[in-house]
Structure 1
């Protein structure tokens, strides 16, 4: 099984840090520990989510979180900067088109190695990078 981590945009970390650290600091300064605790809890969950986003190639399956995609069903992979919600921590993404109408946006850090690993299982994938 090969595991590929998600690429993370630096600006995303800064935005999330600012959004959640401001209420934490404000909560401490105003002695509102409920605001501090909630902000700290949410920030912790966000970073746990960041750590858990990875893409696994296990035999003939691509596993993204709990979703299992048969690599033989992948039709096309293309480059995109689509900002839609997806298991990707960067806007430098690839779209994986599989089955008839399904698509998932991901951002593997080692993009070329990831695509080559998919092509080993299914050499018929059309790659447009």
Structure 2
């Protein structure tokens, strides 16, 4: 099994850090410890979610969280900056089109290596990167 981590945009870390660190510091400053604890808990959950975004190639399956995609059914991979919600921590994404109308947006850190690994399994994938 090969595991690829998601690429993370630096601005995303700054935005989330700013949104959650300000209430934590403000809660400590004003002695509103429940608010600080709540926002710290939310920040921890987001961190855990970030750590869990991985793309696994296991045999002929591409596994993204709980979604299992048969690599032989992948038709096309292309570059996109689509901001729709997806298991990707960067806007530098690739769209993976599979089955008839299914598509998922991901952002593997080692994009070229990831695509090469998919092409080893299914050389019929159309790549537009």
TM-score by length of 1: 0.99
Q: 1:85 Cα shift?
A: 0.4
User: Is 1:16 aligned to 2:16, yes or no?
Assistant: yes
Rounded Cα–Cα distance in structure 1 between residues aligned with 2:10 and 2:3: 22
Counterparts of 1:56-75 in structure 2, within 5 Å, are 56-75=56-75
Q: State the shift of 1:67 in Å.
A: 0.7
Deviations 1:48-69 (A, max 9, x none): 1111100000000000011100
Q: CA separation in 2, counterparts of 1:114 and 1:108?
A: 7
| Residue 101 of structure 2 is aligned to residue 96 of structure 1 | no
Which runs of 5 or more structure 1 residues have no equivalent in the other structure?
none
Task: Extract structure 1 runs of 4+ deviating beyond 3 A.
Answer: none
Q: Give the Cα–Cα distance (whole angstroms) in 2 for the partners of residues 34 and 83 of structure 1.
A: 33
Superposed CA deviations along residues 16-39 of structure 1, whole A, max 9, x for unmatched, are: 000000000111011111110110
The alignment status of 1:42 with 2:42, answered yes or no, reads: yes
**What residue number does 1:76 align with?**
76
Unaligned runs of 5+ in 2: none
Match of 1:87 in 2: 87
Post-superposition CA distance 1:58-89 (Å, at most 9, x none): 00000001110000010000000000000000
Matching residue of 1:3: 3
Give the TM-score of the pair, scaled to structure 2: 0.99
- Counterpart of 1:87 in 2: which secondary structure? coil
Q: Distance in 2 between matches of 1:120 and 1:33?
A: 53
User: In 2, Cα distance between the equivalents of 1:37 and 1:104?
Assistant: 35
Distance 1:50 1:43 in 2: 11
